[in-house]
Chain A
C-alpha cells in the first residue's frame, strides 16, 4: 500500500530532524506560559528515573525471560506457542517487582504515559501491514 510506504519513509527521514526542531522550540519558547508548562512536564517526566527504570526493567526482564524459556523449551517436547510469553510476563513482572521493591515511589501518571505510548505504537505497527517495502516478505 502506497500510503503505508509513505508513512514508513517519513519515519525513516523524520525523527531526528523533528526532534531537533521540537527541543529547540521548547527551549527558545520557554517564555510563553503554555509552552513553558509543556516543557516543564516533559522535563519532569524525563527526570523521573525511578518510574522510568521500573517500567524499563519490567519490560527487559519479561523479554529476556521469554527468550530463555523459549530456548530451553526447544530441548523438550513441550509445545512452543504463545504460552511462553504469558509465563514470561508473570515471571518477569514478579522479578522486576521484587528487584525494584523499595527503591522509590512510582509516579503512575508517568507510567501510564509509557503504557499508552507502547499501546499506540503496537497499533501503528500492526496497522501498517505491508512488509513488502522492507524486503522481508
Chain B
C-alpha cells in the first residue's frame, strides 16, 4: 500500500528511488493497476477488488477449460472442486488486503487455463488472454516470473509434439517475456540487473 501511495504521489520508479525501501526492488505491475484505479475512483481501499476480479476470471477460465477437456456439461462436484481451487486459503485470506500472493496464484491458474484453451479450441482470443495473464503474472511478484516460466515450460512439454499451432504459441510466450520483462517489468528487471 505505501508503494501504491508513492506511485500516486508522483514517484517514477524508472528515474527515482522510493522511500519505501522494498518497493525499489519488486515488480510493480499490480501496484500500477491499483494506483490508476485508485486515482480514478478516489479510494485506494476499493482497489482491493483486484482479488475478486482475478477470481472471477480464474473461475471462468478453469470452468471453460474443464468443460472443453471433458467434452460434456459440468456437474455440481467438478464446479465445487474448481471453487475450492480458486478460493484457496491464500486467496481467501488476502481478499481484503494489499498482499499479492493471492493474485499470483490466480494469475498462474488463468495463464495455465488460457494456454490450454488456446491449444484445445484454437481461438485467437485465448492466445491474447494468455499473454495478458502472463504479463500480469510477471508484473505482480518476482516469483511470478518463475511461475510463468515453469507453466510455459510444462505446457510446451505437453503439446510440443502434437500441436500445429506451435508457431503461434511461441509468439504468445515470447510476447509475454518481452512485454512482461522489458515493458511492465522494466523496473526492476532491467534497471536493477
Question: Which A residues lie at the B interface, using CB under 8 A?
Answer: 8, 11-12, 14-16, 19-20, 23, 26-27, 39, 42-43, 46-47, 49, 52-53, 55-57, 59-61, 63-68, 70-72, 74-75, 80-86, 88, 95, 99-100, 103, 114, 117-118, 121-122, 125-126, 128-129, 131, 134, 136-137
Contacts and interface: CB of A to CB of B under 8 A. Distances in A.
16 contacts: A11-B92, A12-B89, A60-B57, A60-B110, A60-B129, A64-B135, A65-B132, A66-B32, A67-B184, A71-B29, A83-B40, A126-B45, A131-B1, A131-B45, A134-B96, A136-B99
B116 to A, nearest CB: 13
Interface stretch (B61-69, B143-151, B154-162): B61-69
B92 A47 contact: no
A80 B29 contact: no
Nearest to A98: B125
Given A55-B56, A66-B37, A82-B39, 13 more contacts: A16-B89, A43-B79, A47-B67, A49-B60, A56-B61, A56-B129, A60-B57, A63-B50, A83-B40, A84-B36, A121-B49, A125-B45, A136-B99
A83 B18 CA distance: 23
Contacts, number: 194
B135 A39 contact: no
Nearest to B132: A64
B84 A20 contact: yes
Contact of B46 (A84, A114, A125, A137): A125
Interface string B158-189: 00000000000000000000010001101100
B19 interface: no
Contacts of B43: 126
A15 B83 CA distance: 10
A125 B80 contact: no
B95 to A, nearest CB: 6
Contacts of B73: 43, 47
